[in-house]
Amino acid sequence: MPKMSFIVPVYNSQDYLERCINSIINQSEADIEIICVNDGSVDNSLEILNKFSAKDSRIKLISRENRGAGASRNDGIKAATGEYIAFVDSDDYIEKDFAKLCYDCAINNNAQSVHINNIEYWPNGAISHIDTLEEYKKRGGSENLKYNTFINYKEFRNSLMIFDQAPWKRIYERSFLISNNIFFPETIRPQGEDLPFSLAIKINADVFYLDKILYHHNVRSDSISQNINNRFPIKEIIEACNVVKKQFDERYAENQVGINEAFDTGIVSYCLYANYLNRNKENYISEIKPCLTETQYMKFVKEIIKADLKQELKMDLLKELKVTPSKLIQTIFSVKNEFLNSKKYKVLTIAGIKFKMMLNRNLKEMEN
């Protein structure tokens, strides 16, 4: 049994594919297998894969009609024989010690999954951002998250949705995926299949956070996650997430503090991304509203108002909600009291940013 199976879904990646495959076959850990799933490419990707597979017996090639990245990864999981599984997009590449460091970390810590950091690049090659622990915290992750330890999603529910959803951000114990029937939903395309899969991992697996940048991700508009459909299937994503959230509720029924807020935050983030993809399409606002709860929709509106988006879209949102100027002020600005450990706090919220101030007297003093 190989230590690790690399699963590479491929769609029209001829300009990037050789770099990707070379980064895998040249791993310092040689006990690996590479499963390339050609997802109906119409360029020279299949020819490139055939050349690689003829030279390296560790490469398995699956070729079929275009069904999307989720279906390709599922085919790879079913064909894999490795102890652990890693996903690599065909336009990305990995560090030479990826397999060795991730596998050793998983074995030494008895982890069912290992989370790593990555560097992301714009199409022109410039660095978009580097994912680190500090970046997660800036985006709302728990201040208690730490490197080189297990991620307790039960404790850090505010990080449940914030923490990266991309499947290539982790390795996975193959037997764990199979025994828990964790696969990508194939009815959600494009891109939406990642979130339900990632949430299922976070809810069920022991995930270890390894302090290493081992993955290089390239952003390009014609990648496998983009080719099926140019509309973002937000309704299907929310439905799938509700199924996963129910699993989380059942598993951690004894302590639900924060899960709804975390879930709403993640859904709103996806809605905002969907809005970005659909911003030139008509009726998006009316389409998305029925998919959300009132709380989620108001969060979405707040973020749209804060974002640097087209003024017409903002006005459409306000019109849709029938928001008056005074209502808008209430939406993005609020003051309320909170009580914690017998102390009273004044909480000021401006455009989603909270400022907490403790009053001079605690409740016992006030009672006296």
266 falls within a domain: yes
On whether both 49 and 110 belong to a single domain, the answer is yes
On whether both 338 and 213 belong to a single domain, the answer is no
Task: Check: CB of residue 111 under 8 Å from CB of residue 31.
Answer: no
Mention every residue, 6+ apart, whose C-beta is less than 8 A from residue 228: 66, 68, 189, 190
293 falls within a domain: yes
Domain assignment of residue 204, given as a range: 4-218
313 falls within a domain: yes
Q: Which one of 152, 183, 218 terminates a domain?
A: 218
| Residue-by-residue pLDDT tens, the chain, 368 positions | 999 999 999 999 999 999 999 999 999 999 999 999 999 999 999 999 999 999 999 999 999 999 888 999 999 999 999 999 999 999 999 999 999 999 999 999 999 999 999 999 988 888 888 887 777 666 555 566 677 788 766 555 555 555 567 899 999 999 999 998 999 888 765 556 787 788 788 778 889 999 899 999 998 755 544 443 445 566 776 776 676 667 666 665 555 555 666 667 667 766 766 665 555 555 666 777 787 888 878 877 777 666 545 455 555 554 544 444 444 444 444 556 665 556 655 565 544 445 555 544 443 433 33
> Residue 80: which of 2, 150, 154 has the closest Cα?
2
On whether both 200 and 275 belong to a single domain, the answer is no
Q: Tell me, what's the pLDDT at 20? A: 98
On whether both 269 and 357 belong to a single domain, the answer is no
On whether both 24 and 159 belong to a single domain, the answer is yes
3-state secondary structure of 22: helix
Instruction: Work out the number of other CB atoms within 10 angstroms of the CB of residue 235.
Output: 16
On whether both 337 and 319 belong to a single domain, the answer is no
pTM over 0.95: no
On whether both 37 and 142 belong to a single domain, the answer is yes
227 falls within a domain: no
- Looking at the structure of the chain, the number of domains it has is 3
